[in-house]
Amino acid sequence: MKHLKTRIKVLCFIVFQTIFLTNIFAQGGFSSASLSVNRSNGITPSEQVIVEEFMNYHTHKIAMPKANEAVAVDLRWGNNLVGKNNEFAILQVGFATGFVDDFSHIPHLNLCLVIDKSGSMSHDQRMVKLKVALSKFVEYLRPQDNICIVAYDSKATLVLPFDKIGDGNNANQVITSLSPGGSTNLNAGMMLGYEELYKNYDENSTNRLILLTDGLTNTGEINIENIIKNSLGYNKKGIDISTIGVGHSVNFDLLRQLAKAGRGLNHFIGNSEDIEKVFKDEAESLLSPIARNVSLEIISGSGIKMQEVYGYSPIINKNKLSFKLDNMNSGLTQVFIIKYNVSDMQQHKNAEVNIVFKYYDIKLKEEKTIKRAIKITASKKQNTNPFIDSEVKKNYTIAYIATSIKQMAFAYESNKNSDAKLILDNCINLVEKYYPNLEDKDIIRVLDIAKENVVLLNKIAVR
């Protein structure tokens, strides 16, 4: 009966998110820390502007998988016709996963919450936000899931021994009792959490450490490279790590590197919206995995040349892009935006792009390969609208704004403030040209970050 009640609770949670949260929060399974940090912290370092996280913060309009599919593939041009005077064309490659309604294949979880309770967590109500968020997270877990809790300041303490979570009361009592004070020995807390998980490791379960901190480690091991190396040692033993940063002074780079190496998500809690989103996404990644060992190849034919890839870090080999992607979870939509130079299209009449998408289907326990091809054709018209597809136009616009914010940050770091402002001014003007009566909330969310940065640059200029 308890198992049935838990399944009903998780199903209700997924139905709720499907109906109410689709256009409000980031979809499950894709890290969204970068946008949240930039929205909360003003002008941020260029390395903290992760373009693909801006692009995938919102849910995209992509067809859901069919009954026998784990992942749906969506391939489209902004316009598959290129005019004689057109210089570029935009390709969008998209993926979508369905919502899980059968949890029988998902084993129990082995989790360790490692919670920063140092003195810095008292600032900006960080500990208060964290307690609210953790209570929500505990609600999502099933009675059979195992959990332990480590709290740390200048030293690390096991405050809840490893055991089944049951009704969650014991975990909530421990969370409620936490109070900030002392220095920050992040490495000690993390390593104690890893040790507890390793002692209770189950190769048939998801073994994950969730590190919650403002990332300002100042006691014990403080060398960032050593901390990452220590974490990676346990990642290689099969234990994943997700990171959740709290507060405006979070060490974004450390938390992102830990999560990327440890096959987990990187989150940031800046406001009340982030609290709900962060723990919804993390619960989904634990309770509804869809695909792992995910890769994508994009191969361009003659007549077009890859000009720019927005976000990500692909391996580029002549006309081929190779991406190694994060694991995919329930309720995910993800897009890739590539800009092509099409000035030679009139000579070739048409061109073709092929993709090869591979992943391991967790439910079916088998490797899958999907191949798709899409053509683009030269038009007899002098000019064609590169954005007759409104979804491609929207996602390109968001990618362009995010790239401009990153370029602005580079210029700002080089003390080229006038160049930084010009980059954003040009960006804002182009977006307003594309959308004279802008109403799309997803574009507005990102454009507002650019506009706020212009305000900050203007204030710096008059000092």
pLDDT tens across 73-117, in order?
Answer: 999 999 999 999 999 999 999 999 987 766 556 778 999 999 999
Asked if the model's pLDDT at residue 18 lies above 50, the reply is no
Asked if the model's pLDDT at residue 401 lies above 90, the reply is yes
From first CA to last CA, the distance across the chain in angstroms is 66
Quick check: 387 and 338 in contact, CB under 8 A? no
pLDDT of residue 76: 98
* Non-local CB neighbours of 357 within 8 Å, separated by 6+ positions: 71, 73, 95, 294, 295, 296, 297, 369, 370, 371, 372
Q: Quick one: CA dihedral 22, 26, 29, 30, positive or negative?
A: positive
What one-letter code names the amino acid at 279? F
pLDDT of residue 45: 86
Asked if the model's pLDDT at residue 345 lies above 90, the reply is no
Sequence ranges of the domains in the chain: 2-30+107-287, 61-101+290-378, 390-461
What CATH number belongs to 61-101+290-378?
2.60.40.740
Asked if the model's pLDDT at residue 125 lies above 90, the reply is no
Quick check: 99 and 330 in contact, CB under 8 A? yes
Which pLDDT band, with edges at 50, 70 and 90, does 30 fall under? low
More confident residue, 166 or 261: 166
> Among the CATH numbers 3.40.50.720, 3.30.460.10, 3.40.50.410, 2.60.40.10, which is that of 2-30+107-287?
3.40.50.410
Quick check: 212 and 254 in contact, CB under 8 A? no
pLDDT of residue 330: 82
pLDDT of residue 272: 53
Q: What percent of the chain has pLDDT over 90?
A: 58
Asked if the model's pLDDT at residue 289 lies above 50, the reply is yes
Tokens of 227: 């901390």
Q: Residue 106's closest CA among 209, 197, 11?
A: 11
What is the average pLDDT across 252-269?
A: 83
Asked if the model's pLDDT at residue 261 lies above 50, the reply is yes
Choice among 66-70, 127-131, 412-416 with the minimum mean pLDDT: 127-131
Quick check: 127 and 179 in contact, CB under 8 A? yes
Sort 375 into a burial class: Cβ within 10 Å, 0-12 / 13-18 / 19+. Answer: exposed
Distance (Å, whole) CA 18 – CA 100:
12
Distance (Å, whole) CA 200 – CA 219:
28
What is the average pLDDT across 307-333?
A: 92
Asked if the model's pLDDT at residue 120 lies above 90, the reply is no
- Tell me: the pLDDT tens digits for 188-241? 999 999 999 999 999 888 899 999 887 678 889 989 899 999 999 999 999 999
Asked if the model's pLDDT at residue 22 lies above 50, the reply is no
Distance (Å, whole) CA 306 – CA 15:
40
Q: Which long-range contacts (CB under 8 A, 24 or more apart) does 83-87 make?
A: 83/379, 83/381, 83/382, 83/383, 83/384, 84/346, 84/378, 84/379, 84/380, 84/381, 84/382, 84/383, 85/382, 85/383, 86/342, 86/345, 86/383, 86/384, 86/386, 87/341, 87/342, 87/343
* Non-local CB neighbours of 202 within 8 Å, separated by 6+ positions: 107, 108, 110
